[in-house]
Amino acid sequence: MKITRILAYRLDLPLKEGRYGFSGGRSIRGYDSTVVRIETDSGVVGFGEVCPLGPAYLPAYAQGVRAGIAELGPHLIGHDPTELGVMTGLMDRHLKGHPYVKSPIDMACWDILGKVAGLPLSTLLGGRQGGAVQCYRAISQDTPERMTESVAFYRADGYRRYQLKVGSDVATDIARIEMVAAGLQPGEVLVADANTGWLSHEAARVVHAIRGLDIYVEQPCLGFEENLEIRRRTHHPFVLDESIDSVAALLRAHHARAMDAINIKISKYGGLTIARQMRDMCVAMGIAMTIEDSGGGDIATAAIAHLAHSTPEAFRFNCSDCNSYVALDIAEGAPRRVDGMIEAPSGAGLGVSPDMKLLGEPVISIQ
């Protein structure tokens, strides 16, 4: 089997809330998503999707995805997409860094492999483990009162886990955390996620002020050493996200006992191939995980669900249902959240069928 053509499509995915705000005054009003279609000489077609959370979150941006695919794509024509390790090495050889560019290509190759094998990706990624996967809801940064109202709204929609976007001025953040925590119901989980927004002295003030609350603290500061220092100042369970951007970073953080859980964003590692490695290493080292991506629609959510559903239940801290945030469905068969839970599709590969009319004309065509 050989790749004969690579197509990329650009999609604007409006947010249901209209706006999503997080630390440092950063916000977005919609997702600029890129869908990749890989065609083969056997007629099997695979799809992938990547969607950076704007250009100011991680070192990734939407136009960079498409520029990178245009650069990388010609080197992949004629190669076997089912040889996933070979494809990973090929992409790394021809494009240094930029893992987010490689993610939708890797995802599409997995989709092809699953279709050739006649198996869902959850089976290929280790096997379907347990029941549906618990999703969390990110609570966009706002006043303490409005964030508390948002939690109540999403509780009524079936969620039981909430990621509170903090990381602004300390007094307001403490008020946000305290007000939301006061209204939590039994069994609910709250994560205060600063998205690197605090300096170390600010993070120290926050964890001291909330020391009596049963919550998680996520990525308070930018640098690894700063986060490690805050970790040592608090008894709260600690989550790292932005700091864990490679296998080496994971090993370093584990050796330092820098966290209790990490967030695995598929595109941050270049696709499912490396994300699965990270997942399996976390299981071996006893680290809980949130399985997610920066954003996206139905295709990205299907990939998340497959990786999450093939993760042992004890290690699933959270899962993201990206397509619940957007007002546009782009594929049939995609996982849909029910009572705060999602399940991996049962069809071969990703198990989804993108709406080609909705995708429109490709912005990139390589053959």
Strand 189-193 vs strand 161-165: parallel, antiparallel, or unpaired?
parallel
Instruction: Give the residues of the chain that fall short of pLDDT 70.
Output: none
Tell the burial category of 188 from Cβ atoms under 10 Å away from its Cβ (0-12, 13-18, 19+): middle
Q: How many CB atoms lie within 10 A of CB 302?
A: 31
Q: How far apart are CA 144 and CA 176, in angstroms?
A: 4
Domains of the chain, with CATH numbers? 3-118+354-366 (3.30.390.10), 123-353 (3.20.20.120)
Q: How many CB atoms lie within 10 A of CB 136?
A: 23
HSE value, Cβ hemisphere, 13 Å, CA-based, for 262: 31
265 is catalytic: yes
CA 61 from centre of chain: 15
Q: In angstroms, what CA-CA distances link 364 with 13, 36, 67, 99, 277?
A: 19, 9, 9, 19, 30
The catalytic position among 102, 115, 165, 268 is: 165
- Indicate the residue type of 197: G
The catalytic position among 2, 265, 268, 357 is: 265
102 is catalytic: no
Structure token digits, residue 45: 């077609």
pTM confidence score: 0.97
99 contacts 293 by C-beta, under 8 angstroms: no
Structure token digits, residue 145: 């009162």
Residue 56: what pLDDT?
Answer: 87
